[in-house]
Amino acid sequence: MEYTPTLPLVDDESASPRVKAVFDDIRATRQTDFINNFWRALANDPANLERTWQELKELMAPGTELDPMIKELIYVAVSTVNNCTYCVRSHTAAARAKGASDAQIAELQSIVAAANKTNRLAIGLQVPVDEVFA
Amino acid sequence: MEYTPTLPLVDDESASPRVKAVFDDIRATRQTDFINNFWRALANDPANLERTWQELKELMAPGTELDPMIKELIYVAVSTVNNCTYCVRSHTAAARAKGASDAQIAELQSIVAAANKTNRLAIGLQVPVDEVFA
Amino acid sequence: MEYTPTLPLVDDESASPRVKAVFDDIRATRQTDFINNFWRALANDPANLERTWQELKELMAPGTELDPMIKELIYVAVSTVNNCTYCVRSHTAAARAKGASDAQIAELQSIVAAANKTNRLAIGLQVPVDEVFA
Amino acid sequence: MEYTPTLPLVDDESASPRVKAVFDDIRATRQTDFINNFWRALANDPANLERTWQELKELMAPGTELDPMIKELIYVAVSTVNNCTYCVRSHTAAARAKGASDAQIAELQSIVAAANKTNRLAIGLQVPVDEVFA
Amino acid sequence: MEYTPTLPLVDDESASPRVKAVFDDIRATRQTDFINNFWRALANDPANLERTWQELKELMAPGTELDPMIKELIYVAVSTVNNCTYCVRSHTAAARAKGASDAQIAELQSIVAAANKTNRLAIGLQVPVDEVFA
Amino acid sequence: MEYTPTLPLVDDESASPRVKAVFDDIRATRQTDFINNFWRALANDPANLERTWQELKELMAPGTELDPMIKELIYVAVSTVNNCTYCVRSHTAAARAKGASDAQIAELQSIVAAANKTNRLAIGLQVPVDEVFA
């Protein structure tokens, strides 16, 4: 069964000028005509579309504290813990586009898995924080 | 109120030879006499202590696909999503010890936060996966 | 691939009298003959079916502290964070049936997203609780 | 800093007759005069107090499908994944009171940890469900 | 043991002009001199501080699709599922300041609890989405 | 839409000797020729494949502290909270293969659901840990 989104995807024709301006900026920034479904769904709340695009555009761009490929890998790690299929798939693709190899993606997932394991052990055993970490 | 762990922390005196061997390897690998509480709590299940230490020792060492400092940042990202106080604190300290700056830690948390935001939007709006990501 | 549930959906013919009594009450309360799959799956544990239906019937009814439509929006918010596809879809439909507009659903998701973002920042940065909130 | 609960704990003196009836039943069922803070907090919503106590009383009692000690271990497993300090501590104590050994609690946490690890690998690598499990 | 935040709280004296501008806007908007720790921790990443404050200021203000008190209750619901102590406490206080009664807060938590219960049942039993919700 | 995994499933022909050795051990241990997709996906990181198989082989075998069927039920409980479709389905099948009845699986899910409910109440109401549990 294919599911529809809970709010309609906004296509170019029905986009308001405010939405269209964001779509134009996405296209210019990414140098592609393709707008993925995430942004078309967000367009139901133009203020949130603007804020979220601006946030990702600034955060994920080259020239900040961390390398763009590394930032995509961190995004994949978070998306994996949150179990967001859409986000795991789209950000794994983005990491690849920015140079991540299969071996790096496999290692990333091994670290995510190990961290999930030790997180639960620290919680389940109620390990007290060592003074040196407090 | 200070909480005790749900299983006793195993000190050096009461460590079995099997546990002592792991503690020795932790000390040798990290070049410090200090064993943090996490390993002392895990020592209640020596097989799990052995497996988990071996796993982290291999995964987090230099010379793999990703840089050691980056691997610690990924660990912090996962620990933040899982809300593990012990792990956020100990792995933020480890990231710093491996060279992470305050600005990099702050940016990491900004990315974790943004990913959590967009993860929920993709889920809440039930955004269909674009064919290009399928 | 379509997945089967892990326990069989109980249809009207195979329902025990105890299950049938709950199905009858669902039909009478909702004024419809339709019983959705959730209740048919729960019917494998009649005591849990009774308790859970009674709980939702009381909690989600008009006449309590919060408006029925608002209660459905809260349900959608929780289901989004827990990433329950079935629940996001069925309770978004219920919120609409009780009067929620597309704009309200979009705003709800923007708030859920923002809360997820700031939740992680408070955790990741280990922000101490201000005395005024303690 | 000690935190107050977000709603007042209801003591015996201020309990309404409806709340008092539940407190009496907790005391009679558990054969102790002690009412732990969880029920005193829930008493702010007497209907929820009644429902929740009735649910746990039925579910966690001897004589159902699973052994009472096993049911407490399952409760600890869920509470660990949800990171509920109160629940990990109180249900680990309950498991012990029903006969769980330190070695069983340690093994439980090793399984919880391993499951968390493999859960994330299945999600992060987007492993397709084998036909035999569909 | 009191924990320090993982990045220093930025006080008024050490705030850069960019941070100071946000602090000033928080004070003006809320009509109070008090800046809570959350914003002081975020100030380590001024761009994120600006974006996050702007987002909350717009989203949580009166005059949008949902009532300000309801929006705070939704925030509390999400923060409860994410187990963010800081956020549960600060947004429960905000909900009260905007008019929420104890009875409404208690009912909110009863709904959050019921939703968490039914979310897991839908997932654990792998309930197929009814066609009417697809 | 069927999704591909984010890393290729490793078939027998393309398996390296190191991967083949693990596949052989899985076949010998389980007394079946069938290797499920999870292991084929993990094979992209042979070290992680070895570690994870060894861990599950040891933990889930007969002869440890808890009964093998109970250990599978605990695995299902964790997988349900983490919302891992693959894991809920495969470990429910494993629990059945080790003797779990439909009634036991239904009761398990009722306990998981109740625990999720009370976990959130303890968190949302910020219930202080009783001294006896501290």
User: Residues E33-69: pLDDT tens digits?
Assistant: 999 999 999 999 999 999 999 999 999 999 999 999 9
Name which residue leads in pLDDT, E94 or E3.
E94
- Whether residues D128 and F3 touch (CB distance < 8 A) is answered with yes
Q: Is the pLDDT of residue E1 over 60?
A: no
ipTM confidence score: 0.96
pLDDT value, residue A1 = 53
What's the mean per-residue pLDDT of chain B?
97
Nearest-CA distance F29 → chain D (Å): 19
Q: Is the pLDDT of residue D40 over 90?
A: yes
Residues of A with CB below 8 A from E83's CB? none
Reported confidence tier of residue C79, pLDDT bands at 50, 70, 90? very high
Tell whether E51 is within 8 A of chain A (Cβ). yes
Residues of E with CB below 8 A from A2's CB? 134
- Partner D, chain F 26-45, Cβ-Cβ below 8 Å: 34, 36-38, 41-42, 44
Report the alpha-carbon distance of residue E63 to residue E58 in Å, rounded: 10
Q: Which of C83, C102, C113 sits opposite A7 (nearest CB)?
A: C102
Q: What are phi and psi of C118, to 5 degrees?
A: -75, -30
Q: What are phi and psi of D5, to 5 degrees?
A: -70, 160
Single-letter code of the amino acid located at D102: D
- Structure-token pair, residue D27: 């005391």
Question: A87 with A122: CB under 8 angstroms?
Answer: no
Tell whether B48 is within 8 A of chain D (Cβ). yes
Question: A77 with A108: CB under 8 angstroms?
Answer: yes
- Whether residues D134 and C47 touch (CB distance < 8 A) is answered with no
pLDDT, tens digit, 9 for 90 and up, residues C19-58:
999 999 999 999 999 999 999 999 999 999 999 999 999 9
Tell whether B47 is within 8 A of chain F (Cβ). yes
Nearest-CA distance E12 → chain A (Å): 25
pLDDT value, residue B87 = 98
Handedness of CA F103, F109, F113, F118 (dihedral sign): positive
- Whether residues B106 and E44 touch (CB distance < 8 A) is answered with yes
Residue reference for tokens 């990741």: C124
Tell whether A116 is within 8 A of chain D (Cβ). yes
What's the mean per-residue pLDDT of chain D?
97
Tell whether D85 is within 8 A of chain B (Cβ). yes
Q: Is the pLDDT of residue A62 over 90?
A: yes
Q: Which of C112, C114, C123 sits opposite B83 (nearest CB)?
A: C123
Nearest-CA distance E105 → chain F (Å): 9
Report the alpha-carbon distance of residue E42 to residue B109 in Å, rounded: 9
Report the alpha-carbon distance of residue F4 to residue B133 in Å, rounded: 9
CA of D111: which chain B residue's CA is closest?
B48
Question: Where do runs of H (alpha helix) occur along chain B?
Answer: 17-30, 37-42, 46-59, 68-81, 85-97, 102-124
Residues of A with CB below 8 A from D109's CB? 120-121, 124-125
- Can you point out the beta strands (E) in chain F? none
Residues of D with CB below 8 A from C55's CB? 51
- Structure-token pair, residue A26: 């996405």
Interface C:E, Cβ pairs < 8 A: 215
CA of B111: which chain E residue's CA is closest?
E48
Q: Is the pLDDT of residue F123 over 80?
A: yes
Report the alpha-carbon distance of residue B48 to residue B52 in Å, rounded: 6
What's the mean per-residue pLDDT of chain F?
97
Residues of A with CB below 8 A from D124's CB? 76, 80, 88, 108-109, 112-113
pLDDT, tens digit, 9 for 90 and up, residues F27-76:
999 999 999 999 999 999 999 999 999 999 999 999 999 999 999 999 99
- Whether residues F89 and C3 touch (CB distance < 8 A) is answered with yes
Q: Find, among D51, D55, D100, D48, the residue nearest to D74 by Cα.
A: D100
pLDDT value, residue A32 = 95
Q: Mutate which of A75, A109, A111 to test chain F, going by most F C-beta atoms within 10 A?
A: A109
Q: Find, among F53, A61, A86, the residue nearest to B126 by Cα.
A: A86
CB proximity list for B13: less than 8 A, separation 6 or greater: none
- Whether residues B121 and C114 touch (CB distance < 8 A) is answered with no
Q: Is the pLDDT of residue B2 over 80?
A: no
Report the alpha-carbon distance of residue C131 to residue C125 in Å, rounded: 18
Report the alpha-carbon distance of residue B41 to residue D106 in Å, rounded: 9
Tell whether F134 is within 8 A of chain A (Cβ). no
- Whether residues F44 and A2 touch (CB distance < 8 A) is answered with no
- Whether residues C134 and D47 touch (CB distance < 8 A) is answered with no
Q: Is the pLDDT of residue D90 over 70?
A: yes
Report the alpha-carbon distance of residue D27 to residue A48 in Å, rounded: 51
Report the alpha-carbon distance of residue F109 to residue F78 in Å, rounded: 11
What is the length of chain F? 134
- Whether residues A77 and B79 touch (CB distance < 8 A) is answered with no
Q: What angle do CA F105, F108, F111 make, to 5 degrees?
A: 155
Nearest-CA distance C98 → chain D (Å): 24
pLDDT value, residue A122 = 98
Q: Is the pLDDT of residue C2 over 90?
A: no
CA of A105: which chain D residue's CA is closest?
D125
Reported confidence tier of residue B105, pLDDT bands at 50, 70, 90? very high
Report the alpha-carbon distance of residue C66 to residue B103 in Å, rounded: 44
- Whether residues D6 and E107 touch (CB distance < 8 A) is answered with no
CB proximity list for A38: less than 8 A, separation 6 or greater: A86, A90, B118, B121, B122, B127
Tell whether F4 is within 8 A of chain B (Cβ). yes
pLDDT, tens digit, 9 for 90 and up, residues A63-95:
999 999 999 999 999 999 999 999 999 999 999
Nearest-CA distance F17 → chain C (Å): 33
Report the alpha-carbon distance of residue E40 to residue E75 in Å, rounded: 20
Average pLDDT of span A28-44: 97
Reported confidence tier of residue D67, pLDDT bands at 50, 70, 90? very high
- Whether residues A106 and F45 touch (CB distance < 8 A) is answered with yes
Nearest-CA distance A108 → chain E (Å): 24
Nearest-CA distance B24 → chain A (Å): 19
Q: Is the pLDDT of residue D110 over 90?
A: yes
Q: Mutate which of B102, B120, B121 to test chain E, going by most E C-beta atoms within 10 A?
A: B102
Nearest-CA distance F17 → chain D (Å): 22
Average pLDDT of span A34-59: 98
Residues of B with CB below 8 A from E47's CB? 110
Residues of F with CB below 8 A from A105's CB? 6-7
Average pLDDT of span D23-27: 98
The Cα-based distances of F124 to B80, C120, D79 in angstroms read 19, 17, 14
Report the alpha-carbon distance of residue C90 to residue B92 in Å, rounded: 40
Half-sphere exposure in the Cβ direction for C91 (13 Å, CA): 30
Q: DSSP labels for D54-69?
A: HHHHHHHSTTSSS-HH
Give helix E102-124 / helix E68-81 axis angle, nearest 10°: 50
